[in-house]
Structure 1
Amino acid sequence: MLSASQLADRLARDAEAVCRHYLSAGRRAGNYWIVGDVANSKGKSLYVHLSGPRKGRWTDAATAQYGDLLDLVRESCGLVDFRDVADEARRFLNEPRGSLVSSDRDDRLDRQPVERPAAERARRLFQMTQPLAGTLADSYLRQRGILRASLHSSLRFHPSCYYRDLVSCRTSSYPALIAAVTDQAGTVTGVHRTWLDPDGDGKARVEDPRRALGGLLGNAVRFRFPVDGPVPVMAAGEGLESMLSLSHVMPDMPVVSALTANHLAAFRPPNGCRHLYVAADADAAGRHGIEGLSRRVRTLGIMPLVLTPELGDFNEDLRRLGPDRLIANLRAQLVPEHASDFLLD
């Protein structure tokens, strides 16, 4: 049975193999493995020594994180209990499971993980993306009837976004649609990731192809929002694609996606808002989000108006019924002045 220090030494012997497995988005550069961070993002700030007396030691120059390869396993897999870290390392080394040598185990358990704030990690990820136009993510949205998504600066593409299975902790990477979650000042507080099938066949075949990261509470993914000034009329709802579908047929209306019903209920409308259209989803959670947001905005002097799809959500309406039918349904629900100002002819 190997102790913690022995496990770290064994991992260091195969440092490059460890890096290729847990930091697959990186590459070898001389005697180092270079990658963006412990979350396996593309970039150059984290480097792992592959030879010499510091073999297996790593440092992230951007965050001041450092450690050995056991620490790297812990961080990349998101593990907390060191017993789980040791089990993951033994799995990689094909060692049997078992308890650690007590003195070594206690020393490791006292070591606190260095956590980078989620909002900072989200901003870092968004900075590593590329424009949406012509990418797999643009194609994915076009397949869903959303033809002008590349006009939205809040949507970007990552060709190889880190994905960790929350059950097995195994890591991989897939292309991804990345949406920026911002506050009222336009500061990125989080991101929403939709992992995509590399062959263009919809979402990636993983357990959970959609995840958010960072500060969502009160914030949202914003489409067509002015940089400054009041926003007297806007629409808010849950799903990214549902709200993009509304924006597709109302291209000049400010629209936000709060991503979940709970976050929709907590969304903070911008200053100067007088009419807030709340896009309904046909489920109990959606009704909860609508009711919670409507109650709160009334106290702010904002009139909430509910928009209801004919089918499950507005993207389903757009894809299955077509844009003309969606426009006709919305025209019947919008204030006439808003229908003439915002709806496509």
Structure 2
Amino acid sequence: MIAMLSASQLADRLARDAEAVCRHYLSAGHRAGNYWIVGDVANSKGKSLYVHLSGPRAGRWTDAATSQYGDLLDLVRETCGLVDFRDVADEVRRFLSLPHPASSRRGDAHTDPPVDRPAGERARRLFRMTKPLGRSLADSYLRQRGILRAAQHQALRFHPSCFYRDLVTGRTLSYPALIAAVTDPSGAITGVHRTWLDPGGDGKAKVNDPRRALGGLLGNAVRFRFPGNAPVPVIVAGEGLESILSLAHVMPGMPMAATLTANHLSAFRLPHGCQRLYIAADADAAGRHGIEGLSRRAQALGILPLVLTPELGDFNEDLRRLGPDRLTGHLRAQLAPEDAQAFLPT
């Protein structure tokens, strides 16, 4: 019956030898005292993600840059880019050399080698499982947020039953989800962002953390209206997906990028040919940190950074509560005259 372990039991088994798990799945990292230190769940070099190796929190990990956290079962899921819990459990059994339920009945002791996929491939695997956004629950969700033309953006897709694991209870569930592709400057998918949705259409799913990212975010973003490999002289960059989509709703021709977190906003790689950078602000301290970091980098590259501020908490709140006309007027006063003329309706 050992092959029938529950999710929490599998996580406990992994935690018994947390360092071995880290050395296998996060080989780019290193041990520092009671922690394993690495860049992120994509096994990048760095020191943002740390895993407790012993004690009562053995196996628990946190990524300070993305605010992701979880146990070693979540770590296996993220590093391998797995979606279904069955695939996660199979991968853990292979690592722990536990028999598979089917093979144990046959007496077959064969185990497959561990899955080791590049971060881009893992993200593309999930994105390939999605459907067009139009007329989906995700499209309806965004329309409720005042974002009416989201289906025009190729970076946005819909997954009708996306795997979700509750980090508190260990339960594995599935919810419909809005999926956004995170891409590098060449347009290659390096990660995905998931927003789990309530199946009945009542906003986001009623879970502790309905938004999570997977894959390589550092320097990259969810991009809208980027002109391929052509120079991008003017761009808007910001954190939140819905905040940037709200700006795209009233400035449909402006290239925009959602970096998803304040730390990733600070590290965003600016496009070739950029001359003016508008940074979409949110009303929080972490957002100010990201704005300051990106502004310094832009200035060092000879790019003029300008901050766009909402009237309320963020631009989606402005769009929903104040309406598109007032949001347009508020932006017109903040844009350079030539940009207001080019990108805002007259």
- TM-score, normalized by the shorter chain, greater than 0.5: yes
Match of 1:7 among 2, 15, 18: 2
Give aligned-pair identity as a percent: 70
Displacement of 1:216: 0.2
Contact 1:119/1:215 (8 A) holds in 2: yes
Cα distance in 1, alignment partners of residues 334 and 120 from structure 2: 37
Taking the TM superposition and a 5 Å limit, the aligned residue runs for 1:223-238 are: 223-238=224-239
> Equivalent residue for 1:121?
122
Q: Deviations over 1:30-72 (max 9, x none)?
A: xxxxxxx993449xxx9xxxxxxxxxxxxx8xxxxxxxx9x52
- Unpaired runs of 5+ residues, structure 1, are 1-5, 13-36, 47-59, 61-68, 90-110
2:82 counterpart of 1:39: yes
Contact 1:280/1:306 (8 A) holds in 2: yes
Cα distance in 1, alignment partners of residues 231 and 91 from structure 2: 48
> Equivalent residue for 1:263?
264
Displacement of 1:118: 3.6
Cα distance in 1, alignment partners of residues 81 and 213 from structure 2: 18
When residues 336 and 325 of structure 1 are mapped into structure 2, their CA distance, relative to the original with a 3 A threshold, is same
When residues 330 and 162 of structure 1 are mapped into structure 2, their CA distance, relative to the original with a 3 A threshold, is same
Cα distance in 1, alignment partners of residues 229 and 114 from structure 2: 40
Contact 2:204/2:210 (8 A) holds in 1: yes
> Equivalent residue for 1:202?
203
Q: Deviations over 1:106-157 (max 9, x none)?
A: xxxxx99544344322110001111100000000000000000000000000
Cα distance in 1, alignment partners of residues 190 and 127 from structure 2: 10
Question: Which amino acid letter does the alignment assign opposite residue 121 of structure 2?
Answer: E
Q: Deviations over 1:212-271 (max 9, x none)?
A: 000000000001111121000010000000000000000000000000000000000110
Q: Give SS of 1:276's match.
A: strand
2:271 counterpart of 1:253: no
> Equivalent residue for 2:344?
343
Which of structures 1 and 2 has the bigger CA Rg?
A: 1
> Equivalent residue for 2:69?
none
Q: Give SS of 2:163's match.
A: strand
Cα distance in 1, alignment partners of residues 258 and 331 from structure 2: 18
Displacement of 1:307: 0.2
> Equivalent residue for 1:74?
92
Displacement of 1:312: 0.4
Q: Following TM superposition, where does structure 1 have runs of at least 4 consecutive aligned residues deviating by more than 4 angstroms?
A: none
Cα distance in 1, alignment partners of residues 148 and 221 from structure 2: 21
When residues 73 and 183 of structure 1 are mapped into structure 2, their CA distance, relative to the original with a 3 A threshold, is closer
Q: Give SS of 2:146's match.
A: coil
Q: Give SS of 1:156's match.
A: strand
Taking the TM superposition and a 5 Å limit, the aligned residue runs for 1:322-333 are: 322-333=323-334
Taking the TM superposition and a 5 Å limit, the aligned residue runs for 1:11-26 are: 11=4
Q: Give SS of 2:180's match.
A: strand
Displacement of 1:335: 0.3
Taking the TM superposition and a 5 Å limit, the aligned residue runs for 1:52-201 are: 72=90, 74=92, 114-201=115-202
> Equivalent residue for 1:274?
275
- Unpaired runs of 5+ residues, structure 2, are 6-79, 102-111
Cα distance in 2, alignment partners of residues 213 and 279 from structure 1: 23
Taking the TM superposition and a 5 Å limit, the aligned residue runs for 1:275-290 are: 275-290=276-291
Cα distance in 2, alignment partners of residues 290 and 314 from structure 1: 15
Contact 1:38/1:72 (8 A) holds in 2: no
When residues 192 and 182 of structure 1 are mapped into structure 2, their CA distance, relative to the original with a 3 A threshold, is same
Q: Give SS of 1:339's match.
A: helix
When residues 112 and 216 of structure 1 are mapped into structure 2, their CA distance, relative to the original with a 3 A threshold, is same
Cα distance in 1, alignment partners of residues 170 and 271 from structure 2: 39
Cα distance in 2, alignment partners of residues 338 and 7 from structure 1: 64
**C-alpha RMSD of the superposition:** 3.0
Q: Give SS of 1:289's match.
A: helix
Q: Give SS of 1:282's match.
A: coil
Displacement of 1:173: 0.5
Could you state the TM-score of these two structures normalised by the residue count of structure 1?
0.71
Contact 1:119/1:213 (8 A) holds in 2: no
Cα distance in 1, alignment partners of residues 280 and 191 from structure 2: 22
Cα distance in 2, alignment partners of residues 115 and 195 from structure 1: 26
When residues 75 and 38 of structure 1 are mapped into structure 2, their CA distance, relative to the original with a 3 A threshold, is farther
